Amino acid sequence: MAAAHVSARDARISALLSTRSTPPGTLIAEGEWAHRCLLDAAGDIETFVWCPELLGDDGRALARAAAGRARASFTVSVKTFARVSRRNRPSGLASLVRLPDWRAGDGVIGGRPVGPGTVVLVADGIEYASNLGALVRVVDASGAAALIVTSRRARVESPEVFTASRGTVLTTPVIDLGSPAQAATWLERHGFAVHLALPGAEGHFRDRPRGDRPTAIVVGSEGNGVAPEWREVPHEAVSIPMRGRADSLNVAVAAGVLLFG
């Protein structure tokens, strides 16, 4: 079946136009690398648009595969693709992708049961999409159950999150629990030990208690660290010793050290 050819004015591709923010829970993936990720991760493609004139043989093969998996797919002109693309050099492939609707429910997080071995990373007040993406990648790689975000400032749906996460945002549970108090309520109800990463605290991260309870490791924002609301939650303080001039590590580096340490 040949894909329908549409113009930038067609309402069916309006959510992809670069002048718009994507609807909540959806993001734009653009280019060959992103589409390889999407196909590998069985991403949920709502709308796929491609511009045959901009693609070589590899790109066209990818386009056929993506079109076969998308709910709707359209070909567009070079001019229309330019209105979709967020890049200086439009690639010819763009998808509107729906992220899974991950939840923290009763005894369950991100589709997995909460048990004594469950580890979640909590990131508070994250400002930069590139850091949010790197945090998602760390959670994926470490085998933690989910990334919980509180007082979030960066959008999970940002294309930079997709890139910095190397596409793992498609398959890693990222759950916005709102405020620290709301997140703490859920964690407390499920018996989590809460470990706050506080630079300069006494507890060395390697000695943090690893007992018979699920564990939440809380890292703070780039500028301000863990918010005061988190410090009111019953917790253990853990720290990474800083041996140089800097008073903290990049938040994704700190999360990596804590999750793998």
Nearer to a second copy, 16 or 97 (CB): 97
Binding mask 1-40 toward a second copy (x if CB under 8 A, else -) reads ---------------------------------------x
Instruction: Name 1's Cβ contacts closer than 8 Å, sequence gap at least 6.
Output: none
Binding mask 163-182 toward a second copy (x if CB under 8 A, else -) reads -xxxxx--xx----------
Residue 42 touches a second copy, criterion: CB under 8 A = no
Min dist. Cβ of residue 257 to a second copy (A)? 5
Min dist. Cβ of residue 234 to a second copy (A)? 26
Q: Which two tokens stand for residue 160?
A: 């930079």
Nearer to a second copy, 75 or 172 (CB): 172
Options 137, 190, 208, 235; binder of a second copy; rule CB under 8 A: 137
Q: Which long-range contacts (CB under 8 A, 24 or more apart) does 110-118 make?
A: 110/145, 110/146, 110/172, 110/173, 110/175, 111/173, 112/145, 114/145, 114/190, 114/214, 115/214, 116/211, 116/212, 116/213, 116/214, 117/214, 118/145, 118/192, 118/214, 118/215
Which 8-state DSSP code applies to residue 99?
P
Nearer to a second copy, 24 or 241 (CB): 241
- AA letter at 252: A
Residue 208 touches a second copy, criterion: CB under 8 A = no
CA dist 93 and 28 (Å) reads 10
Residues in the site for a second copy, rule: CB under 8 A? 40-41, 130, 134, 137-143, 164-168, 171-172, 205, 240, 242-246, 248-250, 252-257, 260-261
